[in-house]
Structure 1
Amino acid sequence: PNVCEIRGVGYSYGRGKKALDNVTFSVRRGESVAIVGQTGSGKSTLLRLMCGLEAPDAGSISVAGVSTAKKRGQREVRRMVGYVMQHPERQLFAQTVAEDVAFGPRNLGLSADEVTRRVDHAFELVGLGEKRGASPFELSGGQRRLAAIAGVLAMEPELLILDEPTAGLDPRGRARLRELLADLRGHGVTLVQVTHSMDDAARADRVVVLDQSRVIADGAPAEVFSRANEAQLRACGLGIPKPLAHARGLETAGHAPLGDPPTIEALAKVLNATEGASGNGI
């Protein structure tokens, strides 16, 4: 079943400037979807509409069957969608990480036992349990972002939306956050992320490409980043994942065809198949 349905969505700012034009796609329960596109392609506007912060000018958006067309539906959708904005760690404010994570569930009027259960589960998901009693401001940049995400997860949203989740993190922080997103998928959390990183997008189940307010591609990473689409992606200012670029370079240097491996794991697998288990060439 689909958690989110986006059908023919249009949205304009002042003087008729179109931010979105006839955007259509859906997000299935438990699926991970990456939305990519150049600055100004409509990504941030789309996220705001999916979160129920505004209603589209045309078409419709629904989350778990609830339409965002009216204010009441928007309020209900905002309770069902967890929105992790860019640099969410800047919103941490409590004296301890545990208090920050508990803030949202407490505001829902839940019982103390239910708040504790949700907080414990969120800490388990992000792997930050040992920092429960620490001040958020004592954590590393990557840990602060995990703490902020834990606060959103504690709300137990139907849909988790992240805006550039790995932006501004060091390599270690990016790696940990990628692991977290993979773990969340394993726990059945439905994920939508906007990202400028084609490497991050390649790890999603599906990639939706926006260009000049319209969807120009929607499919599995191997399909979207295939040779057939490469010229179009470059024309709208997007690249391809580094492992795929590396595969192209190997083929140019005389290696046998490697297909379209979008992740380092996929590239290693195809290299092992063509060169033996040593994995030479990575």
Structure 2
Amino acid sequence: MTTPRPVDCWLTDMDGVLVHEETAIPGAAEFIAALRESGRRFLVMTNNSIYTPRDLSARLAASGIDVPEDAIWTSAMATAQFLDDQRPGGSAYVVGEAGLTTALYEVGYTMSERDPDYVVLGETRTYSFEAITKAIRLIEGGARFIATNPDVSGPSQQGTLPATGSVAALITAATGRKPYYVGKPNPLMMRSALNRIDAHSETTVMVGDRMDTDVVSGLEAGLRTILVLTGSTSRARVENFPYRPTRVVESVADIVPLVTEFAPVTGPEY
């Protein structure tokens, strides 16, 4: 066993790690402040494709967490980069909101309902039967099917909402075609985030609240992982998974000393 290398870069999930809806989790502002003061490269990541980085930066600021736009990486941005790598200057029919359409425009994609290269499905609060029907017919006509993330549900102040994965399942049932998911747990999103900040997997840590997305995608990308217990996965459920994070902590507040002391992240510590 080799000694773990010091941590140069950090990737962290947003919902469940830094915030619950519009409320900051205790220690989140201090964690981001410590990263910025230390000069460490970092990205705040989210599978949510609704918002642009500017929107998310403003929402985090309203919660007291200061994250610049260029330190935010969404599944929409990862999807746009993937499509630009696969088919530069292509076209897409998009079921989604500004976060996704803006990301695609910025890489030079054209939004089209006429023989698009791709149907791209993302998060939206206003899924319409008409848009889903159009997506089904375009896929039947030969468009390639891409989805930003496989999350089947998401939280809201009123309760659970259907998310991208649920709508993708509907389209798959109608067409027999499964989408390619770009967001977590696909390690492709981790790799794109590492490339974004010129980071190396051996010196980067992923912080997340879900074993089935954050931790597994971090592991598959070769990162050390920290699970916080302020989100989806409870301590009791950790043992149900066939893989383990490097470390489990109560909240992001427990990670601040690791940043300020430039300490390596080792494990297992439960």
User: If the TM-score is normalised by the length of the shorter chain, which range does it land in?
Assistant: 0.3 to 0.5
TM-score of the pair, normalised by structure 2? 0.33
TM-score of the pair, normalised by structure 1? 0.32
